[in-house]
Amino acid sequence: MTKAIIYHNPRCSKSRETLKLLEQHNIKHDIHLYLNNPLNKQSLKQLLAELKLPVRDIIRSGENEYKDLGLDSENLTDDQLLDAIVATPKLMQRPIVSYQGKARIGRPPEQVLDLFK
């Protein structure tokens, strides 16, 4: 049986709630602590394909680094935005759960349960 992967930040309440939800529903999962083990650009592209979202939708625009790095510029390419996430993983939206070629952002946490229907 394929396990889900949760891209998790234990300091984030939504990430903790999503992890608890997976456990409550007995969904087998692996935890990827993406701040300790950042995703590379290819992995981010795969995750975006699973999410079916543009790269801007997985960037946390409220982080100081977002403004400091000028990521609000509409002139930036997707590759430049992905490079910023690779270099500064805390810019990635959290949590994200991936399962069998599909993924959801856990905001709200219950949204990830759609993957298992």
Active site members: 12
Intra-chain end-to-end CA distance of the chain, in Å:
15
List Cβ neighbours of 60 (8 Å cut-off, separation of 6 or more).
66, 90, 91, 92, 93, 94
